[in-house]
Chain A
Amino acid sequence: MVSALDTRQDERRARARAAAAEVCDPEIPVLTIADLGVLRDVEVAGDEVTVTITPTYSGCPAMRMIEFEIVTRLAEAGFPDAQVRTVLSPAWTTDWMSQEAREKLRAYGIAPPQGRAGGRGALFGHDTVACPQCGGTDTERVSEFGSTACKALYRCRSCGEPFDYFKCI
């Protein structure tokens, strides 16, 4: 039998989770931290809420902004003083990104990560990345490092568009 207290706790947990999950990555506003896999856990114990997140890169400057946004959203949802905890392990990987998130990225003009992470990167050589604009695969890498740590810079030889590629890590 489910007690009224359990139901209330479940409702609070769902509400806290939904509020945290709405936070967007400030650098890729079409993706939420839930889409990205940056949001790891939302715990509700009594009045205390603890949100656990993991950074995409060690030095990702968006983390502070994301923490701030989480605390703000939770306060709006009726949870003042939410705590945000950062964990490094297991290390974030693009494998955690949903198909839906990949499609959102592509529609936004960022080529989603190709294949699965975890392979030992070769010293030389790189992936074939399809252009998010025209779908062509005749693309070239301009730079391994793009406008943010998680992206590389590519150019499409078919349609001539430069584009960002979300690196597979």
Chain B
Amino acid sequence: MAIPKDKALFDYAVRLADDQLVLGHRLSEWCGRAPTLEEELALANMGLDLIGQARSLYTYAGEVEGEGRDEDALAYLRSEREFANMLLVEQPNDDFAHTMVRQLFHAAFMTPYWEAMTGSADATLSGIAGKAVKEARYHLRHSAEWIVRLGDGTEESHARTRAALDHLWVFTGELFEMDETALSLLDRGVAVDARALKPEWDRAMNETLARAGLDRPGEIAMLSGGRTGRHSEHLGHLLAEMQYMQRAYPGMTW
């Protein structure tokens, strides 16, 4: 594999695509298993939005690379260590509370992220952001309303949401990390400064958790590594399932 002409831009588009694809796939795992029909539709709809965003991003990354790789090659034919998604999105669905807390953490970050990205110097990324931000707002509202319902619901739903918050909090530090790739693109006016989104994310968290009657988890040491391909054990299993058909029948189409 040749080094793309603009490696930083390629890497940045791919990691952003990986985040949306992996979370989109996680949501698709709820198909046929959601607690209600309405929620079944909602989870599938959100998954579809995320996979749609990923497709645009992979297609663009393939163009930047200029080696003829298309969206399918990037989604289905890269290994676990080549995936650069953040650890949060690969965490298993577990119970509904875990799924919704993960969704809230992600959507509360992606909403201001896409808003900021609409001002990117890169016209393609800004175009993708213009669409994605409208979708992210719905995802944020949906998950925030669920967290209130669950936190302010029964003893059982409160306890499960509490456990999910405590379990997933450790992955939220990675949302705001800026590595060399992101910083170099920030200098060029292409990337978003994730660190600057923390106050807005905090506000969304505080408002939602206060309404839900849930305490915000305390400061702890955060886990990260997804951007450099160091994943939790869960990603490999997810990819094994997601990539099976393309690996078993290379080049197959529906």
> Do most interface residues of chain A lie in helix, strand or loop, or is the interface mixed?
loop
Residue among B52, B128, B132, B208 making CB contact with A60, cutoff 8 Å: B52
Complex Cα spacing A169 to B136, Å: 11
Give the contact-size bracket for chain B: 35 or more
Q: Any chain A CB within 8 A of the CB of B239?
A: no
B42 contact set on A, CB distance < 8 A: 143-145
Residue contact B49 to A124, C-beta cutoff 8 Å: no
- CB-CB contacts below 8 Å: B29-47 with A: 38-39, 41-42, 44-47
- CB-CB contacts below 8 Å: A139-164 with B: 142-149, 153
Given the known inter-chain contacts A90-B130, A91-B134, A145-B42, please indicate yes or no for A123 contacting B123, CB distance below 8 A: no
Complex Cα spacing A144 to B211, Å: 19
Q: Any chain A CB within 8 A of the CB of B56?
A: yes
Residue contact B53 to A59, C-beta cutoff 8 Å: yes
Give the contact-size bracket for chain A: 20 to 34
Residue among A55, A57, A92, A144 making CB contact with B142, cutoff 8 Å: A144
Q: Any chain B CB within 8 A of the CB of A7?
A: no
Residue contact A121 to B135, C-beta cutoff 8 Å: no
Residue contact A88 to B128, C-beta cutoff 8 Å: yes
Residue among B41, B144, B204, B207 making CB contact with A146, cutoff 8 Å: B41
CB-defined interface of A9-27 with B at 8 Å, one 1/0 digit per residue?
A: 0000000000000000000
Residue contact A58 to B39, C-beta cutoff 8 Å: no
Q: Any chain A CB within 8 A of the CB of B126?
A: yes
Given the known inter-chain contacts A123-B141, A144-B142, A145-B41, please indicate yes or no for A58 contacting B49, CB distance below 8 A: yes
Residue among B41, B44, B126, B144 making CB contact with A123, cutoff 8 Å: B144
Complex Cα spacing A124 to B145, Å: 7
Q: Any chain B CB within 8 A of the CB of A73?
A: no
Q: Any chain B CB within 8 A of the CB of A78?
A: no
Complex Cα spacing A167 to B148, Å: 23
Given the known inter-chain contacts A142-B38, A144-B42, A145-B45, please indicate yes or no for A121 contacting B131, CB distance below 8 A: no
Residue contact A91 to B130, C-beta cutoff 8 Å: yes
A142 contact set on B, CB distance < 8 A: 38
> Do most interface residues of chain B lie in helix, strand or loop, or is the interface mixed?
helix
B51 contact set on A, CB distance < 8 A: 59
Q: Any chain B CB within 8 A of the CB of A3?
A: no
Residue contact A149 to B56, C-beta cutoff 8 Å: no
Q: Any chain B CB within 8 A of the CB of A136?
A: no
B142 contact set on A, CB distance < 8 A: 144-145
Complex Cα spacing A167 to B45, Å: 13
Residue contact A91 to B127, C-beta cutoff 8 Å: yes
Q: Any chain A CB within 8 A of the CB of B176?
A: no
A120 contact set on B, CB distance < 8 A: 137
Residue of A at shortest CB range from B24?
A59
Complex Cα spacing A148 to B141, Å: 18
Please indicate which of the listed interface residues B41, B42, B51, B145 has the most CB atoms of chain A within 10 Å of its own CB: B41
Residue contact A123 to B134, C-beta cutoff 8 Å: no
Q: Any chain A CB within 8 A of the CB of B50?
A: yes
Residue of B at shortest CB range from A169?
B134
Residue contact B45 to A88, C-beta cutoff 8 Å: no
Mark B residues whose CB is within 8 Å of A: 38-39, 41-42, 44-53, 55-56, 123, 126-128, 130-132, 134-135, 137-138, 140-142, 144-145, 148, 204, 207-208, 211
Query: 7 new A-B pairs (CB below 8 Å) besides A144-B145, A153-B41, A167-B138?
Result: A57-B135, A59-B55, A88-B127, A123-B204, A143-B41, A144-B42, A149-B49
List 20 A-B pairs, Cβ < 8 Å. Answer: A58-B56, A58-B131, A59-B48, A60-B48, A60-B52, A88-B56, A89-B123, A89-B127, A89-B130, A91-B130, A121-B140, A123-B140, A123-B207, A124-B211, A142-B38, A143-B38, A143-B41, A145-B38, A147-B41, A153-B41
